[in-house]
Structure 1
Amino acid sequence: MNVPAAIAIGCSAGGVDALMTLLGGLHVRLPQPVLVCCHRSDTMDILSDVLGRASALPVRDAIEREPVQRSVVYLAPAGYHLLVERDLQFALSADARVNYARPSIDVLFYSAAEAWRQALVGVILTGANADGAAGLRRIRQLGGIAVVQSPADAEATAMPQAALDTAGADYCLPLTEIAPLLNQLCLI
């Protein structure tokens, strides 16, 4: 099995707590960039500080035209879609909401899937709508790995259930088992 080059994570309702658990379990030497789209209000600009306290990896908002770097957790900024260009630089968009959200998980997952193809791991966590389901399907279509939090374990079941119904999953796990899996996949 090839070692993944990047991880993309999406979540919504209950997502901050889930991200704190997941990011807190990632190994400090994880070489892959981690791209996170968490539905949040335009005024929630302290998310990187909150998550940074739980993560051994640095956490920051992605910046337009910034090259993606290894071993960094990047957040989609509030009010902007986060995209990855084929040259592995970030692009931000204030285009219309997708699945009622901006940032949208589907937008991130589609662009990341095109950039990394089979070398991408997509992760769907707790959430209250179907955003991310179509993007996760695209990740799998291009040979990437799909990880979904078990709906029974999620604070809000709609998002992980929609992902399973639309894309299926290579792994469907309780939240506490996802970081160990990612460490195993990425530190081979």
Structure 2
Amino acid sequence: MSVQPEAIVIGASAGAVEALSVVLTALPASFRLPVIVVVHVPPDRRSVMAELFQAKCVLPVQEAEDKQPIVGGTIYFAPPDYHLLIEVDRCLSLSSDEPVLFSRPSIDVLFESAADAYGPTMIAIVLTGANHDGAAGLRAVVDAGGRGLVQDPETAFAAAMPEAAIQMCPSARVMSLEAIAQYLKEV
């Protein structure tokens, strides 16, 4: 019997808006899990990700704030130039530690903290991107007993990130964006 998921983390980079538009807009108003998202965005200007997706999604969407309690049925985006972490007390935390793989926010940082906080009740998803961020984090989630999903590199705008995730975590399920959206609706 599989463990009931309690949270979802998603990482994306180049091609993120298009990929997330398929996955996040498919989630119904009744969706009960929190979704925490890191997208590589330029550090020197305001991100419009939360506003953009609030206009597209039926779920509430917001930019994450430090020490914010995680609420189910809400989509959180990492703010520019901060790592987004999940604390063991299920609150969000922002950090200005050094970039990881030239990225802050880092997908690996989010995923590794999520693995510590949620263990086997975590679903981690690596989408399109042009670097290797997310691969080590996905491995951490799967090693903690969580589920790993990866966008099929054949369908990704940039295949490097999903390919690295598959290489580091061969047990992850490789799926199209539509299949990922359907999978989440059924958890």
Q: Same fold (TM over 0.5)?
A: yes
Structure 2: any 5+ residue segments left out of the alignment?
A: none
Give the 3-state SS of the residue equivalent to 2:112 in structure 1.
Answer: helix
Q: State the match for 1:18 in structure 2.
A: 19
Q: State the match for 2:71 in structure 1.
A: 69
What CA distance in whole angstroms lies between the structure 2 residues aligned with 1:170 and 1:137? 9
CA deviation after TM superposition for structure 1 residue 55, in Å = 1.3
State the AA in 1 paired with 2:162.
P
What CA distance in whole angstroms lies between the structure 2 residues aligned with 1:111 and 1:48? 22
- Counterparts of 1:1-188 in structure 2, within 5 Å, are 1-42=2-43, 43-185=45-187
What CA distance in whole angstroms lies between the structure 2 residues aligned with 1:168 and 1:40? 28
State the AA in 1 paired with 2:90.
L
Tell whether the 8 Å contact from 1:147 to 1:169 is kept in structure 2 after alignment: no
CA deviation vs aligned residue, 1:25-67 (integer Å, no higher than 9, x gap): 1122111100000000121421111111221111101100111
1:44–1:169 Cα change, 3 Å: farther
State which drifts further: 111-120 or 170-179. Answer: 170-179
CA deviation after TM superposition for structure 1 residue 175, in Å = 1.1
CA deviation after TM superposition for structure 1 residue 167, in Å = 1.2
State the AA in 2 paired with 1:137.
R
State which drifts further: 97-106 or 40-49. Answer: 40-49
What CA distance in whole angstroms lies between the structure 2 residues aligned with 1:48 and 1:96? 24
- The alignment's TM-score, normalised by the length of structure 1, stands at 0.96
What CA distance in whole angstroms lies between the structure 2 residues aligned with 1:169 and 1:13? 24
Identity of aligned residues (%): 41
Moved runs in structure 1, 4+ residues, more than 3 A? none
Q: CA RMSD in A?
A: 0.9
Give the 3-state SS of the residue equivalent to 1:25 in structure 2.
Answer: coil
Structure 1: any 5+ residue segments left out of the alignment?
A: none
- The alignment's TM-score, normalised by the length of structure 2, stands at 0.96
Tell whether the 8 Å contact from 2:166 to 2:172 is kept in structure 1 after alignment: no
What CA distance in whole angstroms lies between the structure 2 residues aligned with 1:45 and 1:129? 20
What CA distance in whole angstroms lies between the structure 2 residues aligned with 1:60 and 1:4? 21
For this pair of structures, how many residues does the alignment match?
185
Tell whether the 8 Å contact from 1:21 to 1:54 is kept in structure 2 after alignment: no
CA deviation after TM superposition for structure 1 residue 163, in Å = 0.1
